[in-house]
Structure 1
Amino acid sequence: MTENPVGAAPGLLADYLSSIRPLVTVICISYNHERFITASIQSVMDQTYSMVELLVIDNNSSDQSAARAEEMQQKYPNIQVIRNAENVGNCRAFNQGLKRAKGRYIIDLSADDLLHPDRIARQVTGFERLAGDYAVLFSNAAYIDENGRLIGYHYPIGQTGEATVQVPSGWVFKEILATYFVSTPTMMMRRDVLESLGGYDESLSYEDFDFWVRTARNYRYHYQDEVLTSKRIVRHSLSGQFRERHSTLLASTLKVCYKAFDQCQSPEEYRALAGRIRWFIRQCFYTEQFDLAFRFRELLEYMEKPDFRTTVILQLCKWQVPVNGLYRHYAQWKQNRQMSRGEVRMVV
């Protein structure tokens, strides 16, 4: 009979089992998150799962974000804090963390979001049951305002806490092209897959759409139907920058759409991408990036002729109709209305 490697003591057995559980690395990117970063870091340190590595990367904040992170480091010496001398952008900052990461799984955490206490334990358990061709496990998220008040969910939930809508899971490349459905801060990703991609594409202004396009073709995604993360809705967030007149986000999106086009393999996938591009053309109009709208049209015409609505939008782009101010007021009114009703739904 094989001897128990840690003897009969229950405490030693627990320590042994803990030691063989996979390490999870949380990469927390901060830029002017002074109000929220302490709570965000604390949510990582309060995890019921013990095998967690936390890397905090401050992107040259102009407030006291880095100081707050270093205060938490004094309390928890295992936290690693990196101060950048300049704002290198989210993608490059994340890759800084990825190069240092030792975990089997990676969580990309914004310094204003919160992990629920059993998030990592629940996701590791779920991931360890999946086949080797799964790259991402994601879940539902609660939306909270700047004061921490619950204002909605990414997917609406019923009395049992489960989503009341069908969420794509498995081979999701077509769905990734068609619509925004993965709540980015809920993702747990395999480090080896990230490394095989060379990390996030540092030429882009944001990371998630590109990461989904580059992984969903060859790997499966698993949806875990639990609310395990609180995503904070704040003014001037990255998603809100899609409404701004001079934002670089849509130009990055065009690059990703070309990558997606190169990977499409079926008429259904081309149709899904075409539908998304029509939506991006409207966003170009709303943000007065008129020249960019015609660059999206060039890609669209490889797949289909622009429909009537898109043609009208492109004509308005030719006339350079100034609509951004009105659009931003409308978008803010709509978001405030949704928040007051608890119906917040992010669409990017």
Structure 2
Amino acid sequence: MVALCYNHAPFLPEALDSILAQTYPNLEVILVDDASTDASAGILTRYAAANPAWQLLLLPQNVGNCAAFNRAYRQSRGEFLLDFATDDVLLPERVSQQIAAFQKLGARYGVVYSDAELIDERSQLVRYHYRRTAEGQLVPQPASGDVFADVLARYFISTPTMLMRRTVLDDLGGYDEQLAYEDFDFWVRAARNWQFYFFDEVTTRKRLHPTSMSRRGYRPNDPFLASTIQVCRKALALCRTPAERAALTIRLRWEMRQAVRWRNFREAEALYSLLKQVAQPQLLDQLLSKYAKVAASIRGLPKS
């Protein structure tokens, strides 16, 4: 388990106590602090001293989530990896349940993911990641097996719930450190050659708070949008079938509309350029592209 921290001091004790509460007996724990500016390093140091089997990496400079994770992953030895953000909370059976699920699956299964509770800053339940219809159907609909087209077209995986087979990360060379965030890129590259499995249990409590990464997406000057465009370019190179290209078309249209909505006009132009390589643009695509180009020119934005 890689427990990755950046300014999580208010939430750290609950997160680290949830590691200690795990029922799985053979847990390798590597604590990583990505040069936090709050009291996180001191809390991590105290827990590491109380648990000598835990490893502690206090990074002197902030390197970002992808690089920080990779440093710990490369010195880990476990057959499975859990990327645990220390503002979240693990339920006690989390690791045991997902390891047991892996043991029932074939060797091509590289990721097991599940449902999650979404909690607020006071650890109060907000809702579940998957909503249930009156008929008991989950929304968004999870997918298992070959999910490459699914991860292109839509978001449905709760990232903190994933347990990854080590060989998947080995095949990918870890996370791409050129990107600002990891999950979309990991899903795309991993799903090309590995199967995913949805384990229908709540295993994790995912924290919602103003500084969480998920709260910064699709806002003006979104720091992650450039990475999203890079991943879409990778996805285009990986597509093999018309169905997969159709799924990527859905993604590109969604991302372009969000870019225009939040006034990221140069990024919208880049997404439209990609869209033209995948499918015939629709009238709305063309109009949004023209609007973005004019708006970017008026604002004097540099070309992407």
Q: Decide whether the 8 Å contact of 1:91 with 1:202 is kept in 2.
A: yes
Q: SS at the partner of 2:222?
A: coil
Q: Decide whether the 8 Å contact of 2:141 with 2:156 is kept in 1.
A: no
Correspondence for 2:21? 46
CA displacement, residues 73-92 of structure 1 (integer Å, 9 cap, x when unaligned): 22222221111111100000
Match of 1:137 among 112, 119, 123: 112
What is the CA-CA distance between 1:71 and the residue it aligns to?
Answer: 1.4
| CA distance in structure 2 between the aligned counterparts of 1:33 and 1:132, rounded to whole angstroms | 36
Correspondence for 1:170? 145
Q: SS at the partner of 1:242?
A: coil
Q: Decide whether the 8 Å contact of 1:54 with 1:80 is kept in 2.
A: yes
Q: SS at the partner of 2:29?
A: strand
> Structure 1-normalised TM-score?
0.81
Indicate yes or no: 2:152 matched with 1:206: no
Percent identity of equivalent pairs: 39
What is the CA-CA distance between 1:60 and the residue it aligns to?
Answer: 0.5
1:281-300 aligned within 5 A: 281-300=256-275
Q: Decide whether the 8 Å contact of 1:135 with 1:189 is kept in 2.
A: yes
Q: Unpaired runs of 5+ in structure 2? A: 297-304
Indicate yes or no: 2:285 matched with 1:310: yes
Q: Decide whether the 8 Å contact of 1:31 with 1:60 is kept in 2.
A: yes
What is the CA-CA distance between 1:319 and the residue it aligns to?
Answer: 3.2
| CA distance in structure 2 between the aligned counterparts of 1:60 and 1:132, rounded to whole angstroms | 37
Aligned-partner residue type, residue 182 of structure 2: E
Q: SS at the partner of 2:67?
A: helix
Q: SS at the partner of 1:52?
A: coil
1:182-197 aligned within 5 A: 182-197=157-172
Higher radius of gyration, 1 or 2: 1
1:153-302 aligned within 5 A: 153-157=128-132, 163=138, 166-302=141-277
Q: Decide whether the 8 Å contact of 1:162 with 1:225 is kept in 2.
A: no
What is the CA-CA distance between 1:157 and the residue it aligns to?
Answer: 4.3
Q: Unpaired runs of 5+ in structure 1? A: 1-25, 322-348
Indicate yes or no: 2:116 matched with 1:152: no
Correspondence for 1:11? none
What is the CA-CA distance between 1:236 and the residue it aligns to?
Answer: 2.3
The alignment's C-alpha RMSD in Å is 2.0
| CA distance in structure 2 between the aligned counterparts of 1:82 and 1:266, rounded to whole angstroms | 43
Match of 1:97 among 68, 72, 76: 72
CA displacement, residues 122-171 of structure 1 (integer Å, 9 cap, x when unaligned): 11100011100011001111100010000111112489x99476421111
